[in-house]
Amino acid sequence: MATLLRILLLWVVPLKILLMAIFIGWLNTFPIPEGTLFTMVYPLTKGLLPTVWTGGYKDCPIPPLPEHSEEKMPPPHHTSYVTLPGSSNDTARTIHSKDPTYYKIPQSGIGMCCRYTAYDAESVRRTILWYLVHQGGRHIDTADYYQNHEWIGEALQIAMTRYGIPRRDIWVTTKLWPRHYGTNATLTAIPRMLQELQLDYIDLVLMHAPSHQPIPFLTTTSTSNACGGETRKSRKACRRETWEALTVARNDKGYVRHVGVSNFNIRQLQELQFMRAKQAAAAPIANHQFQYNPWVPDAVHDMFRYCQQHGIPVTAWSSFAGSAMLQHMASSTVDSLRKIAKNHGDHYTVAQILLQWAAQKGAIVISTDDDMTTTTTAVPVSSSSSSSLQLTLQEMAEIEDLKRDESAKSFFVTVVDDT
């Protein structure tokens, strides 16, 4: 026993500490080390080695497009569009040609996050092409944190050059990670993201979170000029400085068309609204993206109503809460959703019903699926009364009542930073 303990103390424990130190040091070589760690989790849950180690999956889970897809390419989704804040005399608009779609964002889109196929080069390229070419989708949502910009950019170039999809028809949203907040860091990150996406402009750039939440041991010298780096500005001052930089990127540089926020609370939104009231040139808050489904806490429902009252369009992620949540929910809750889906036809799923619920409330919805050949994005949702799927007032009320399910609260994982 003493010998075994000695081996553990002299060899096993120090070896584990050494390996952990090497791993942390390796993570810190990336611009967003916590993002790299995030992208490793989903492949591991599928028993796959992360592509940051292997370069790609041995067998791509997404099939290639069928031959001659360009000859059978469907028209764009007949989705509704949501009009973003702005006006005909908007400072930023003079930089771009007079595009009638300038303020129109497709109400349904595909999210390039939170599944193992979002972190493999070939899977991402095929996913985007299936969505754009085979399904007629036109709205792509990603983030710098997801580390798949370059693969999305490659797919966009194929879609535009080989399949003839005009750039003006494709809407791309990405997000700026808090490590890159602050004047210099933001105005350095935006051109880099443009280069990675191989685009002349980005339709919408969001501040991904209110502030940077440091993770022990994960630091990087590449963001020392950002807020919270060497400057150590307050989080409120950092948000303000970042918004000013995004305004420059929009109004003066023409790098982006619209700017918005993600995962903010009402007070943090009000900071930017007050700033715009004092500075007429400051960009309007074009969009607020946050987790929104029937089960979110009351504070999030309050946020949704606040945005509607103040003319800030909402993009809802996780509108169908995730498969794990649906499996765990009380059977009566799931059954009520299944009944609603069945009322509209056997080809509709619970996920599509929940997406439609959010859309009819006025939200822009982002969905994800590992299987792009049968994804929920294949049936676009819409707030329009002419949509093929339209929930009745009674069905909308039934879905609203799902928030009473106490078991769902444990699945709401996003904690909005209140600093």
* Secondary structure in 3-state letters for 59-115: CCCCCCCCCCHHHCCCCCCCCCEEECCCCCCCHHHHHCCCCCCCCEEECEEEECCCC
Closest CA to 202 of 258, 247, 136: 258
**In this structure, what DSSP letter does residue 188 have?**
H
Check residue 387 and give its pLDDT: 62
- Chain centroid to Cα 88, Å, comes to 28
pLDDT greater at residue 407 or residue 286: 286
| Confidence band of 66 (pLDDT split at 50, 70, 90) | confident
Most confident range (mean pLDDT) of 66-70, 360-364, 412-416 is: 360-364
CA distance 164 to 133: 10
State pLDDT tens for residues 332-368. 567 888 899 999 987 888 888 989 999 999 999 998 7
Q: Look at the block and give the residue holding tokens 């210099």.
A: 184
pLDDT greater at residue 199 or residue 322: 199
Residue 157: pLDDT above 90? Answer: yes
In 3-state terms, what secondary structure has residue 26? helix
CB atoms within 10 A of CB 215: 11
In sequence order, the 6+-apart residues with CB closer than 8 A to the CB of 305 are: none
Tell me the two tokens of residue 32: 């967003």
Lowest mean pLDDT of 136-150, 223-237, 297-311, name the range: 223-237
Instruction: Give the largest CA-CA distance in the chain.
Output: 80
CA distance 189 to 260: 16
Closest CA to 201 of 59, 75, 92: 92
Please report, rounded to a whole number, the percentage of residues in the chain having pLDDT higher than 70: 77
Assess contact for 170 and 140: CB atoms under 8 A: yes
Assess contact for 166 and 75: CB atoms under 8 A: no
Tell me the two tokens of residue 220: 């990087």
Average pLDDT across the chain, whole number: 84
Please report, rounded to a whole number, the percentage of residues in the chain having pLDDT higher than 90: 54
Q: Where are the domains of the chain?
A: 31-411
In sequence order, the 6+-apart residues with CB closer than 8 A to the CB of 201 are: 96, 194, 254, 255, 256, 257
In 3-state terms, what secondary structure has residue 326? helix
Q: What is the pTM of this model?
A: 0.89
Lowest mean pLDDT of 130-144, 191-205, 329-343, name the range: 329-343
Check residue 294 and give its pLDDT: 87
Closest CA to 301 of 326, 262, 265, 267: 265
Check residue 409 and give its pLDDT: 60
Mean pLDDT of 407-415: 58
Mean pLDDT of 309-323: 83
Check residue 12 and give its pLDDT: 63
Check residue 107 and give its pLDDT: 94
pLDDT greater at residue 175 or residue 99: 175
Lowest mean pLDDT of 178-192, 299-313, 391-405, name the range: 391-405
Residue 370: pLDDT above 80? Answer: no
Check residue 154 and give its pLDDT: 98
Of all helices (H) and strands (E), which one includes residue 207? Answer: strand 202-207
Mean pLDDT of 111-131: 95
| Confidence band of 201 (pLDDT split at 50, 70, 90) | very high
Q: Which residues lie across from 104 on neighbouring strands?
A: 83
Mean pLDDT of 8-23: 74
Instruction: Kindly give the residue spans of alpha helices, DSSP state H, lying in 259-410.
Output: 266-278, 298-309, 323-328, 331-343, 350-360, 393-400
Residue 379: pLDDT above 60? Answer: no
| Confidence band of 11 (pLDDT split at 50, 70, 90) | low
**In this structure, what DSSP letter does residue 215 have?**
B
Look up the CATH number of domain 31-411: 3.20.20.100
